[in-house]
Amino acid sequence: MLYGYWALFVGCLAEGETVTLLGGLLAHDGLLNYGYVVAVAALGGITGDMLLYFLGRRYGAKLLRRFKKAQPNIRRANKMILRHPLFFVMAVRFMYGFRLVGPMMIGASRLSPVKFIIFNVIGAVLWALIFVTLGYLGGQMVAPWLAKVHHHLKYAFFLLAVVVVVWLLPRTIRYFLKHRRS
């Protein structure tokens, strides 16, 4: 099942939540080792964000200058990154849609690579622990109910459920944040 760990690593290079949840489910079913799933997911997240950070450090300023209307927001984000680097580096991993652009903006902000690496590792480990555990617990909750369902259909159903949750969660959060301000 070594290919399962490789698939998990590749899936975690970018957004990765769905793959990480599925890795937790596979760990629950005994097909993968829980500890290895957490480690591989964290390593994939660290690697992907490091690549994006260094791309942002090298090319980010040029890319960001192209967005003329967004310059005030970009300057504000840069100030926030430099003022609260721990929070920003760790939080961007949990913000739907910012997982790819966030590390590039952080790199363009000129945050020191040492700080980024330290905060990125902490954030990736927390992220991996949370999402793998959610997948593991999800497998624990649905396993009795799905025990009679064909082996492959169980994974397809769980993957569909994860996709629905990942799709609905950011919309729900945005809805509550929007209406909270009103």
* Residues 15-72: tens digit of each pLDDT: 788 889 889 988 988 899 999 999 999 999 999 999 999 998 999 888 878 877 877 8
CB-CB contact of 115 with 81 (8 Å): no
Which among 82, 91, 14 has a CA at the least distance from the CA of 48?
14
The predicted structure's pLDDT at residue 36: 97
Task: For residues 52 and 58, give the distance between their C-alpha atoms in angstroms, rounded to a whole number.
Answer: 10
User: What is the pLDDT, as a whole number, of residue 145?
Assistant: 63
**Residue type at 62?**
K
In the chain, the amino acid numbered 49 is D
**pLDDT surpassing 90 at residue 124:** yes
Q: What are phi and psi of 17, to 5 degrees?
A: -60, -45
Residue pLDDT, tens place only, 74-101: 788 888 888 888 888 888 888 777 777 8
Most distant CA atoms of the chain, gap in Å:
57
Residue-level pLDDT at 127 = 94
Q: Identify the burial level of 159 via C-beta atoms within 10 angstroms of its C-beta, where 0-12 means exposed, 13-18 middle and 19 or more buried.
A: middle
Q: SS3 for 3?
A: helix
Assign 110 to helix, strand or coil.
coil
C-alpha distances in Å from residue 36, one per residue of 6, 21, 25, 73: 11, 14, 13, 39
pLDDT at 82: 84
What is the three-class DSSP state of 182?
Answer: coil
Supply the pTM of this predicted model: 0.73
Residues 6+ apart with CB under 8 A from 74: 64, 67, 105
Distance from C-alpha of 65 to C-alpha of 104, rounded to nearest angstrom: 13
Decide if 20 contacts 139 (C-beta within 8 A): no
